[in-house]
Amino acid sequence: MRCAAMATWVAVILCLTPTVAGAAGLTCPEPRGDQEWNKAEGRRYFSLGNTMFKAKRYEEAVAAFECVLRLVPYSMNTRHRLAESYELAGDLVTAREQYELALADDSPETEALRPGMKAKVAELERRIARGESRPLGSGDDGGFHDAPPRPAGPTVGPGPRPPRTPVQIRPGLNEDFPALRHRVEFNLGLASSASAAATTSGGYFWRQTARVSWGANFGGLGFGLTSASGTALTGQGYFLLPGAEWMYMQYGGLIHVTVGGGLGYVFARLENPEKVKANAHSGIGSLYFAMDYRFTAHFSLRLAIRFHFFLGMTGPNDETVDRSTTGIYELGIQYRF
């Protein structure tokens, strides 16, 4: 019942409320029947809203978040961020209304935010009663207006707002949906040594901040090494590689350029030209450069070049293997959740 009521309120708001986004000079695309397209576009505007929010340009943030809700009206994270933006912009009445709309939803996404939002509504009621609210776009001239608390009951959203001075919003550094903090991946590659042997790897990473992720890769790779005496050694190895990744930049929220690396362990089965085989193991360091193309909110493709640095191992006949570097060209797919 709450979800049905929420959908009704959202429809009323979209019909009755002039969009701040339009007033701010930000063109919002019309939603389509393709939900994946709506989500991808919503992600771009959510990223822009976060950029404006962090820059303390709250009116521009409001415009971007309202665009998101036209495309993805059920995103409670967005509605929560929109309420925060209204509050910091000084429009406490509309901020309260947005919090109340979010509280009417019964999704798991809302449950995690519910206690804080209830406290925020109570705080805003007190501040509004003291006359601390001003409509968005009224300027910073201290033009506060009194708005007594409304009686308890359902809200239909904000009413018409005063005209605002157009502000041109330009995309900046973008950020993923905050809820998608986990990532799993699968990569296929060709090693530049070991006769272009195929490599495979999987991985899991957790995004700590908008730029930094922690996790580990694991998989198998082909070897083409040289012992201290000049003997060629080949074989197959398996590695576990904890590490970190840093996002260097993004383009339009769709293309991510990242740098990462780590330190781990590799176990290998090596063979010399005389077909003598032996087990070997070594520490391993890794450094990689990658470009990801985010074609939906959850899936992306990765192109990467990775360098493995083997810290020394012993091969067949106790031959010492020189420290060496293997370059790997990888193509991978990633899933975020």
Q: Position of tokens 């109340």?
A: 100
Q: What is the mean pLDDT of residues 292-316?
A: 83
Highest mean pLDDT out of 9-13, 173-177, 306-310: 306-310
Q: Count the neighbouring beta carbons within 10 Å of the beta carbon of residue 310.
A: 22
**DSSP for 230-291?**
S-EEEEEEEEEEEEEEEEEEEETTTEEEEEEEEEEEEEEEEE-TT--EEEEEEEEEEEEEEE
More confident residue, 205 or 115: 205
What are the residue ranges of helices labelled H in 55-107?
58-71, 76-89, 92-103
| pLDDT for the residue numbered 94 | 92
Q: Is 128 helix (H, G, I), strand (E, B) or coil?
A: helix
Cβ atoms < 10 Å from Cβ of 214: 14
Q: How far apart are CA 53 and CA 65, in angstroms?
A: 10
Question: Of all helices (H) and strands (E), which one includes residue 189?
Answer: strand 182-191
Tell me which DSSP letter residue 139 carries: -
Task: Give the whole-angstrom CA distance, residue 328 versus residue 324.
Answer: 13
Q: Which amino acid is at 21?
A: A
Give the contacts of 56 (CB within 8 A, at least 6 positions apart). Answer: 88
Average pLDDT over residues 113-125: 88
Structure tokens belonging to residue 197:
């042997």
Residue 306: closest CA among 324, 292, 290: 290
Q: 2-129, which class in CATH?
A: mainly alpha
Instruction: Please give the CATH topology (third level) of the domain spanning 182-336.
Output: Porin (2.40.160)
pTM value? 0.50
Q: Which amino acid belongs to residue 247?
A: M
Please give the average per-residue pLDDT across 70-98, as a whole number: 89
For the chain, the structural domain boundaries read 2-129, 182-336
Contact between 260 and 246 under an 8 Å Cβ cutoff? The reply is yes
- Note the pLDDT tens digit of each residue in 270-290: 888 888 888 888 888 999 999
Q: Please tell me the distance from the alpha carbon of residue 116 to that of residue 96, in angstroms, as a whole number.
A: 13
Contact 187, 203 (CB under 8 A): yes
b/e map 70-95, b = 16+ CB within 10 Å: bbbbebbbbbbbbbbbbbebbbbbbb
Give pLDDT tens digits for 229-269: 777 778 888 999 999 998 887 775 578 899 999 999 998 88
Q: How far is CA 222 from CA 235, 269, 289, 296, 328, in A?
A: 6, 10, 20, 33, 10
Distance in angstroms (rounded) separating the CA atoms of residues 227 and 211: 40
Q: Alpha-carbon distance 300 to 333, whole Å?
A: 6
Across the range 16-31, mean pLDDT stands at 57
Q: What confidence tens digit (pLDDT) does each residue in 144-194 have?
A: 333 344 444 444 444 444 444 443 333 333 344 556 778 999 999 887 764
pLDDT of residue 15: 37
Q: pLDDT value at position 332?
A: 94
Longest CA–CA span in the chain (Å) reads: 90
Contact 76, 105 (CB under 8 A): yes
Cβ-contact 286, 262 below 8 angstroms: yes
